[in-house]
Amino acid sequence: MKSNGNYDWKFSTVGGVTRVNIESGQDILHLDELDRKLWTALSCPLKGMEIDEKTMTMLDTNCDGKIHIEEVVAASKWLTKVINDPELLLKREGFIPFSAFNTSNEEGAHLLETSKQILENLGLEKKEISIADVSDSIAIFAKTRFNGDGIITENSADDEAVKSLIKNVIDCMGGVTDRSGDPGTDTDKIEAFYTALADYTAWKEAGDADKDNVFPYGDDTAAALAACMAVKDKIDDFFMRCKLASFNTESASVLDVSSAKIGEISGNNLAASTDEIATYPLAGVNAEHKLPLGKEINPAWAGAMATLKALVIDKEFNKAESLTEEQWNGILAKFNAYNAWMGAKKGAEVEGLGYDTAKTILAENKKDVLLDLVAQDKALESKSNAIDQVDKLLHYYRDFYTLLTNFVTFSDFYNPEKKAIFQAGTLYIDERACDLCVKVSDMGAHNTMAAYSNMYILYCDCTCKSKPGTMTIAAVVTDGDVGDIMVGKHAVFYDNDGLGWNATVTKIVDNPISIRQAFWSPYRKMAKSVEDMINKRAAEKDAKVMADANSKINNAEIPTDGAKPEVKPPFDIAKFAGIFAAIGLAIGLVASAIGGLFEWLGAHWYNIVIFFLIIIAIISGPSMIMAWLKLRKRNLAPILNANGWALNQRILVNTKFGATLTGIAKYPIVKTKDPFTTKAPWWKRMLRWLLLIICVCVAVYFILPKDMRPCSKANVDTVQVVDVNGEVIE
């Protein structure tokens, strides 16, 4: 059949649906001519597949997280252009021989040369390149100065001074990881580095130009400011307390720390109560508004005040015993120029180098040397990109045909020797192995779509000690019976790497599994209903008996005057004669009906067979018909749709195919006797033999011709009855 072109496509019926065949290199070559209506899938998700995610990412050219028909077609065109024989793609190999490159195509020839260069960089001599060779980009570029990523490392320079300069740039501005795996730098960071050098040196020189004003305490200015800031709040608090005490003389006692407050902590280890003591005022308030600098200082602040006195106060007011608020404000004002200079600071990134080193680097001005190295590296960008193209080619070469057999067709799914890319592993549960297991990415979507699949689905949460988090799978049971499967049942899931996961059933979508299961389903339901009813009645009866007993015990009257308890009259059967008569009539009617039935059964032996077949058909027939209808329509598409697939056709799983997706345990005939088997009592064994003999006799009775049956009219001799006069009575 021709579709959107002159290519003659071949078709086959797979899984009850007619699908196009993709089984030759020519089919791949003409993939762009295939009508979109004939593709099994229109798109599929990027993640959660049993195919290399890197390959899928390369295919996803529009970066929307899905693979579309257009992207598959584009990949087929490129792949068949650079490879000289598309038949090689069917091998799904992880390496490409050099003979497979299409050297008549410019891009194919370039990819071949790049492949040879990669092997040369790795020190390998062979006539083929593999995914493993290209996957380690660090090894490819480990011995090269330049690799085309626009990043230079210390190894990019030959001169030791330039190497040292590159190291300084990396240390100050932060590194960028080079393709070789080493830290490096690029154009932006080099430019920022030299800008920071210029800003830092200019700022430092501005401070030195006004040194006396900016550094009032010389080299100790920064330490002196830090000492002031450490006690500033406590000193300001002290002077405010003094002002309040002058404003209201009665408040002086509450502005100082009280003896009672100290008494509250006096029983503690005061050396460990420094934090509490530090909250007390710096010193006692006084009318002179002077801060004492001696032993009157709060002991928790004595050390900080001693540092302030040594670095600042003694230099300003030699041997001063106190400090006024005016003096304190004057000290703080001397730091204004320093604070303004520090606020204008620039180039802090290179401050660690020191002013002298920064000045020297600026003077040497090797910025252009670094930028030239970056340019040399950038010049190899095309070769670097070619390595990425070789990596892409290798992944396509290995995985593209696998994608086609799970996208254009679903032949891998229907092939017993392979697994589809959406089959995540095997779930072992209740003496069966379920191979049709799909990872669940959106449980909400599955809750909506799963019912439309007509499949019996087990949703399981899986955990593995060697992997973080929880994985949810949907395992489809396609053969056998329900067995003991229930929510909460534990199982084991093995992924395609053979890693075992602990699985717990969290939800069951109940649908028929097989005709056999549907046949027995009504009987199981009836047995379950009878069992539940018996349990319910027994529980109700037990509760009623207990309630009646408790009521009689609680309400019993014990005679205290010697009177005899009341005796109820005996049961009067005459009252129930009418009831017994009605019951007898009903039994008679039932017996008559049963007799009529047996009279009909006795007419022919096969009537018994017909009778039992009718009973079975009435009980199991509807269930089997419904099961047959649903089994014919078992469709995997809704489950895949819930995972983000856009499917164009049904993915049917009929009974025969379903039997290959679920393996059921089969046991050999065991000849040895079980030593723990419980033997039936003798009376049960006798009863079984008696029932067997009765069944055989009944069967023989109905099989024999009527004239040979015992007690038939033909075998009964004629008996004449005469009266006393010898006359025959009719």
Ordered DSSP codes for 220-285:
GHHHHHHHHHHHHHHHHHHHHHHHHHHH-GGGHHHHSPPHHHHHHHTTS-GGG-HHHHHTS-SS--
Question: Six-digit token pair at 587?
Answer: 């039994």
Q: How many CB atoms lie within 10 A of CB 44?
A: 24
Q: Is residue 410 part of a domain?
A: no
| Domain assignment present for 721 | no
> What's the whole-number mean pLDDT along residues 95-100?
96
Q: Within this chain, do residues 386 and 357 fall inside the same structural domain, yes or no?
A: no
Q: Got the DSSP string for 280-332?
A: S-SS---TT-EEE-STTS-GGGHHHHHHHIIIIIHHHSTT-SEEEHHHHHHHH
250 and 393 housed in the same domain: no
Give the three-state DSSP class for 180.
coil
Instruction: Identify whether residues 137 and 44 lie together within a single domain.
Output: yes
Question: For 42, phi and psi rounded to 5 degrees?
Answer: -100, -30
Long-range contacts formed by 383-386: CB under 8 A, 24+ apart: 383/114, 383/117, 383/148, 384/147, 384/148, 384/149, 384/179, 385/148, 386/110, 386/111, 386/114
Distance from C-alpha of 58 to C-alpha of 48, rounded to nearest angstrom: 16
User: Residue 696's pLDDT is what?
Assistant: 72
Same domain, 61 and 161: no
304 confidence band (pLDDT: 50, 70, 90): very high
pLDDT per residue as tens digits for the range 147-180? 778 899 998 898 999 999 999 999 999 999 987 7
- Phi and psi dihedrals of 701, rounded to 5? -60, -45
Both tokens assigned to 553 = 């015990």
The band of 678, judged by pLDDT with boundaries at 50, 70 and 90, is confident
Query: What domain range includes position 185?
Result: 154-210+350-378
Residue 723: half-sphere exposure toward Cβ, Cα within 13 Å:
5
pLDDT in tens, 227-259: 999 999 999 999 999 999 888 887 877 888 877
254 and 315 within one domain: yes
Given CA atoms 428, 429, 430, 433 in this order, what sign does their dihedral have?
negative
Residue 672 lies in a domain: no
d(CA 218, CA 221) in angstroms, rounded, equals 6
Residues 102 and 169 reside in one and the same domain: no
Q: Which of 503, 432, 422 is CA-nearest to residue 658?
A: 432
Q: Do residues 293 and 433 share a domain?
A: no
* End-to-end CA, the chain: 91
> What value does the mean pLDDT take over residues 95-113?
94
Q: Do 471 and 439 share a structural domain?
A: yes
Look up residue 622 and give its DSSP letter.
H
Checking if the pLDDT of 565 tops 80, the result is: no
More confident residue, 496 or 588: 496
Q: What is the overall mean pLDDT for the chain?
A: 84
Cα separation, 305 vs 607, whole angstroms: 118
Do 114 and 45 share a structural domain? yes
Full-model pTM: 0.62
CA distance 424 to 414: 15
> DSSP state, 34?
S
**How many structural domains comprise the chain?**
4
When comparing pLDDT for 140 and 563, which is higher?
A: 140
Task: Assign 655 to helix, strand or coil.
Answer: helix
How much is the pLDDT for 569? Answer: 55
Residue 702's pLDDT band (cuts 50, 70, 90): low
- pLDDT band with cut points at 50, 70 and 90 for residue 260: confident
Q: Is residue 570 part of a domain?
A: no
pLDDT, one tens digit per residue, over 171-196 is 999 999 987 778 999 999 999 999 99
Residue that has been written with the tokens 């207990």 in this structure: 546
The per-residue pLDDT for range 618-644, each reduced to its tens digit, is 766 676 677 666 777 889 999 999 999
In degrees, rounded to 5, the angle at the alpha carbon of residue 625 between the alpha carbons of residues 621 and 628 is 140
Dihedral over Cα of 550, 555, 560, 562: its sign = negative
Structure token digits, residue 441: 């990415």
DSSP type of residue 570: P
Determine the Cα–Cα distance for residues 197 and 176; give it in Å rounded to an integer.
20
Tell me, what's the pLDDT at 619? Answer: 66
Least confident among 113-117, 344-348, 519-523? 519-523
In the prediction, which pLDDT does 730 show?
53
From the list 366, 6, 314, 391, the residue with the least C-alpha distance to 164 is 366
Evaluate whether 213 touches 341 at the Cβ level (below 8 Å): no
Instruction: Give the contacts of 358 (CB within 8 A, at least 6 positions apart).
Output: 197, 200, 201, 347, 350
Element (H, E) at 2: none
Query: Does one domain contain both 506 and 648?
Result: yes
Q: Which amino acid belongs to residue 202?
A: A
* Higher pLDDT pick, 518 / 678: 678
Q: Which of 133, 67, 165 is nearest to 645 (CA)?
A: 67
In a domain, 507, yes or no: yes
Residues 719 and 363: their CA atoms lie apart, in Å, by: 148
Residue 84 lies in a domain: yes
Angle at 513 between CA 443 and CA 40, to 5 degrees: 60
Query: For residue 584, is it within any domain?
Result: no
Cα–Cα distance for residue pair 525/620, rounded to 1 Å: 11
Do 124 and 183 reside in the same domain of the chain?
no
Reported in sequence order, the residue ranges of 78-147 that DSSP labels E, i.e. its strands, are: 95-97, 128-130
Report whether pLDDT(572) > 60. Answer: no
What average pLDDT does this structure show over 641-648?
94
- Locate 314 and state its tokens: 């003694």
150 vs 610: which has the higher pLDDT: 150
> Across residues 541-550, what is the average pLDDT?
77
Mean pLDDT of 515-541: 70
Residue pair 420/413 in contact by the 8 Å Cβ criterion? yes
User: Per the structure block, which two tokens stand in for 211?
Assistant: 């040194």
Is 11 within the bounds of a domain? no
Q: What is the DSSP string of 46-65?
A: SSS-SS-HHHHHHH-TT-SS
Give the type of residue at 635: N
Domain check: are 228 and 330 in the same one?
Answer: yes
Greatest extent of the chain over all pairs of C-alpha atoms, in Å: 172
Could you tell me how far CA 712 lies from the centroid of its own chain?
77
* 3-state DSSP assignment of residue 496: coil
Q: CA 499, CA 484: separation in Å to the nearest integer?
A: 25
DSSP string covering 519-541, please? HHHHHHHHHHHHHHHHHHHHHHH
